[in-house]
Amino acid sequence: MSTSNSASRPDRLTVLAFLADVQTEQVLRDGLGDIVANGMDVRRGTIRTAIQAMAKLPTPEVLIIDISGDDQPLSALGELSDVVEPGVRVLVIGDTDDVDFYRHITRGMGVMEYIFKPITREAVGRHFAPLITRKTVGSDAARGGRVVSLMGARGGVGTTTIAGNLAWYLGVISKRHTVFVESDLHMGSGALLLGGKTGPGLRMALETPDRIDPLFVERAAQPVSERLHVLASEEKLSEPLNYAKGAAQRLIETLRVRYNFVIMDVPFLPMPCNRELLEYSHHRVIVMDPSLASVRDTLRLMGVPNGPWQPQSPTIVLSRQGRPGGLTRKQIEDALKVKIDVVIPDMPKQLNESASFGEPAVTERGPFRQAIIDLAREIGFVSGRDDGGPSASPEPTSALASMASVFKSTKLGGLS
């Protein structure tokens, strides 16, 4: 769409955004800050504000607009097309969770991408960032399920508990095809937490990757429920893993064909297997507690370079917040120089009881369940209901038609 002449103009901003609320602005800045740190102008306003402003301002390379709350968003998008240059890349944020609406504006109106509120850094990084940088995600990363790795800043911060409950929420409550991978073959407790069985399949996959195929996965992953499986081992402590290079990548690629979500509990140890699991994740989650040592090690983990499938920085989960003697959230954020994405309060009684009885704590409504729901949204889960009811998630599609051709001959009203 964009021409080389317009892209090289010195007066042309990289990104200009008009957003209706503070929360959306903060998430957008967090998601795109590293990409367009010096070329992004964010202003408060709606699409009507954008129409008035763009009648006077030079058209940026990328225009991000907020259509939430507008009674006639389709008409407004048509009016916007009259005041911007045809080469602009338009990205839209709204409050309508509707596949037909998404398809209409992306395929028929020249909008390159649309995401609905509440937006997350993951959604911004996954859907907006490649269109801004023009670095599209490879087809290998785009097709198949999403791979999420959770790693603790230190032992004992609750990573396995959080990863297991996240997998349960996705697979059992929300009924997405989900597999939980416990990469600690000797001391991992994820299968125990979920009431699943361990087996030799994971070790065989990591030592002999030539055996990995869809049939192997079907046999190795043990069922917990209809749509939740566990891939875990319980190997003898005297038998170290003889890891074959490339095995983790091949395992991930095969699992993605079968499952919507691959949730991996990955201890951050300097081992080739763990490094490869982290590298080929779509999303990394760092779990920390409110201790000084955890802050130090979180900073070290944040410095690990992103893998080829990771457009966004890691999600930070603060576990056991409010623990006696722990640091405050503000103290931690000041030290990390980033915002905490998800906070899980200190709930030792509830979590210990759940672990003892083998029933994930996310089954009960309350602060812990809400934190897991928030984390699910962060890693790319889309649901139309806060209670975790299943809903369809529109597949990302880009339409390259010019907005200048929209509504020239037909005038449409708002959505019903």
What is the structure's pLDDT at 386?
37
Q: Do the beta carbons of residue 256 and residue 263 sit within 8 Å?
A: no
Q: Do the beta carbons of residue 193 and residue 363 sit within 8 Å?
A: no
Residues 280-304: tens digit of each pLDDT: 999 999 999 999 999 999 999 999 8
Q: Do the beta carbons of residue 145 and residue 262 sit within 8 Å?
A: yes
What is the structure's pLDDT at 11?
63
Residue type, 67: I
The single-letter DSSP state of residue 128 is I
What is the structure's pLDDT at 393?
36
CA pair distance 214, 257, nearest whole angstrom: 8
Domain boundaries, the chain: 4-120+396-405, 141-378
Token pair of 393 as six digits: 């998630």
Helix-helix angle 272-279:247-258, to 10 degrees: 40
Token pair of 51 as six digits: 């129409």
Residues 69-91: tens digit of each pLDDT: 999 999 999 999 999 988 899 99
Of 229, 245, 97, whose CA–CA distance to 176 is shortest?
229
Phi and psi at 124, nearest 5°, equal -65, -45
Please give the chain's pLDDT, 416 residues, in tens. Answer: 333 344 445 567 889 999 999 999 999 998 887 777 667 899 999 999 999 999 999 999 999 999 999 999 999 999 999 999 888 999 999 999 889 999 999 988 989 999 999 998 888 988 898 899 887 655 555 568 999 999 999 998 999 999 999 999 999 999 999 999 999 999 889 998 999 999 999 999 999 999 999 999 999 999 999 999 999 999 889 988 999 999 999 999 999 999 999 999 998 877 889 999 999 999 999 999 999 999 999 999 999 888 888 877 899 999 999 999 999 999 999 999 999 999 999 988 888 777 777 679 999 999 999 999 999 999 988 764 333 333 333 333 333 333 333 333 333 333 32
Q: Do domains 4-120+396-405 and 141-378 have the same CATH topology?
A: yes
Work out the burial of residue 224: count CB atoms within 10 Å of its CB; fewer than 13 is exposed, 13-18 middle, 19 or more buried.
buried
- Residues 6+ positions from 191 with CB-CB distance below 8 Å: 180, 182, 197, 198, 222, 230, 232, 234
- How open is the CA angle 87-91-93, to the nearest 5 degrees? 155
DSSP β-bridge partners for residue 151: 286
- pTM of the full predicted structure? 0.74
What is the structure's pLDDT at 162?
97
Is the domain 4-120+396-405 a CATH 3.30.70.100 member? no
What is the CATH T-level fold of the domain 141-378, as seen in this structure? Rossmann fold (3.40.50)
CA dihedral 411, 21, 395, 48 (to 10 degrees): 10
CA pair distance 321, 342, nearest whole angstrom: 10
DSSP β-bridge partners for residue 62: 15, 89
Tally Cβ neighbours within 10 Å of residue 382: 16
DSSP strand pairing (228-231 vs 222-225):
antiparallel
Place of tokens 């003697």: 325
What is the structure's pLDDT at 7?
46
Indicate left, alpha or beta for 97 from its phi (over 0: left) and psi (-120 to 50: alpha).
beta
Token pair of 394 as six digits: 């529109």
What is the structure's pLDDT at 405?
37
Of 255, 285, 310, whose CA–CA distance to 378 is shortest?
285
What is the structure's pLDDT at 1?
36
CA pair distance 171, 179, nearest whole angstrom: 8
Q: Do the beta carbons of residue 370 and residue 47 sit within 8 Å?
A: no
